[in-house]
Amino acid sequence: MSPVLTIAGGSFPFSPRPHRADEIPWREWGDAALEDAAASDRPVFLSVVAAWSTAAHRMDEGAYSDQRVIDLLASQFVAVRVDADERPDVAARYAPVMPAVAFLTPEGDPIASLASASDADALVHAAHEVLDEWYRDRDAVAQRVDAARAMRAAERAAARATRAPGVLTPAILDVALDLVRSRWVEDPPSLVEDGGAAGHAPHPGVLRLLRYAYHRRGLAPEFNRALALAEELVAGGLYDHMDGGFFRWLSAEGDPVPEKLARTQGAMLLALAEIARSDEEARDALGDAIEGTAGYLVGTLGDASGAIAAAEVTEPGASELDRRVFTGAAATAARGLLQAGVLLDRRDWVERGRRVVDFLLGRMRAGEAGMYHAWDGSGRTLGLLDDQAQMLLALLEAYEVSGQAHYFEQARQIVRVVDRDWHEPGLGFRDLADGSEDTGLLAEPAYPLAANAAMAEALIWLARLTHDERHLSTAQETLGAFAPGLEGRGLAVADLARVVDRLLTAEPEFKIVAEHPAGEPDAVADPLHAAALRLRLAGRTVQRLDRAGEADLIAQLGLPERPKVAYVCAGSTCLGPLTDPDQYLPTVEELLGAPVW
């Protein structure tokens, strides 16, 4: 990956090839830069880039290396450079398409924007237009900015006043499945977003939705779709058959971009492992891709400490790693390794997944403030909602797979922090904690759909591990805030619909009571635990409980203290004790009154 160069007191990613972009006096995003812009009466030039983005590299080598651009930005603007990975909150508000540039007032209000700055002539022309209006017709700029502010404020007020919780019903799963079917291209099997071309990016959320629908409702065609799409993603150019791992995107010509992100690997590994666990044919078909992706995470992006590098760019003659660690991406990678390790009985992958979680706890925990967002030798920048939600899911995955109670306790602590600092009743969870930076558009709260769905899933999971109805109540309120208008949200609804259906469904809970803590062999409890993890069910929770060390939790769950047995529960109703894993599925059918596919 490109080196991280220190410029003007800040760290910015630049192209690894020759360029002059570092001659521009870039500033870090924040109050200091905007205050300097106000004091010098200059507009702000904001450039949003990423270390893994080859398009951003081309900007550095092209427009940002043009002497006219260097001189113009140095003399007439306060140039601010933002790494989208370091500051996804800024990128989400100012650059929904990345890389991008925007011209701002010293207060952080947008004046104009460009989709990219790859062409120096276009950039110089746009900059001169902004400067001309800035100095000749400031009133017009102010009026446009004020009108945009007023419109955004009115939209937020109207949303708060009229945003009634949507009704959560099983039909939400049908809406999402209908949407997927409407975007399906049969030959080859791919998905098409509005205005997009087929097969351009992985769809882990869609894969997980289709697999879930198969197990939840016995919809064999949906599983066939999931397997066909997975096989197409592996065979169609997105998967690197030589080095392992998935590329981020396919170009319009069908060639993979050279960018492989840790987040993509973790999400795809999780989805492929779920599909492969459901069917022997799928396991055979996807086994090599699972092996290759896990191997890529461990061997290329990972190291023995548990760190997971953010990304790799592999271009002809070069391969560069961005060795920074980002909580959300690393936590997703940990979940993928844990699931794949259980599927293929790879204890080394399970151990590596746990090591990633341990790394995040040891290096990136921000105490009572939750998780940090990034690490490059030390933790920095308080994490966003996505960081907290993905860490929660990784902790619960590690607890479920290992039985180690400290993961469970850490998850409960983070939930308390998130509920205190990120939650806004009736609206869901904000992307930034209460009291975070409010520079420019960051003062306007955002409620990201994907992170809220992940947070709701973590709460549902935790509720079924504790039988604490407060977690279910918060999950229901959160999901209800996003239920209206699902049809217009595109394929992003896949995870939301799956989580909603999990909330509405009585899922089996497997409670294994062991004589000794996890890590100490138990000839009965250990096989019961391992078998529960491999069951082919739409959704379930698995818990290995230490009779002595977790006596209070066992009592809270209403279980007898008898060790070396398992109970199958749904809410407060439990059946058992069981001592043979073969009793699991008949007991689930008896408990839920429904067949198990």
Per-residue pLDDT reduced to its tens digit, 21-68? 999 999 999 999 999 999 999 999 999 998 888 888 889 999 999 999
Q: For residues 352 and 402, give the distance between their C-alpha atoms in angstroms, rounded to a whole number.
A: 12
More confident of the two residues 234 and 165: 234
Residue whose C-alpha is closest to residue 95's, from 130, 47, 134: 47
Q: List pLDDT tens digits, range 402-450.
A: 999 999 999 999 999 999 999 999 889 999 998 888 889 998 889 999 9
Considering Cα of 195, then 56, then 430, then 173, what sign does the dihedral take? positive
524 torsion bin: left (phi>0), alpha (psi -120 to 50), beta (else):
alpha
Choosing among 3.40.225.10, 3.30.70.1350, 1.50.10.10, 3.20.20.70, the CATH entry for 163-505 is: 1.50.10.10
Reported confidence tier of residue 1, pLDDT bands at 50, 70, 90 = very low
Give the residue carrying structure tokens 């699972």: 290
- Which residues 6+ apart lie within 8 Å of 283 measured at CB? 276, 277, 343
Q: Mean pLDDT throughout 290-316?
A: 92
Q: What residue ranges do the domains of the chain occupy?
A: 4-161, 163-505, 511-592
- 10-14, 244-248, 575-579: least confidently modelled range: 10-14
Section 523-538 average pLDDT = 94
pLDDT at position 2 is 39
Amino acid at 160: R
Cα 277 to chain center, whole Å? 22
The DSSP string of 7-64 is ETTEEEE--SSS--GGGS--B-SSHHHHHHHHHHT--EEEEEE-TT-HHHHHHHHTGG
Identify the CATH homologous superfamily for domain 4-161. Answer: Glutaredoxin (3.40.30.10)
Q: Is 334 left (phi over 0), alpha (psi -120 to 50) or beta?
A: alpha
Q: Among 438, 340, 448, 305, which residue's Cα sits nearest to residue 386?
A: 448
Report pLDDT digits (tens) over 344-385: 999 999 999 999 999 999 999 999 999 999 998 887 889 999
| pLDDT > 80? residue 118 | no
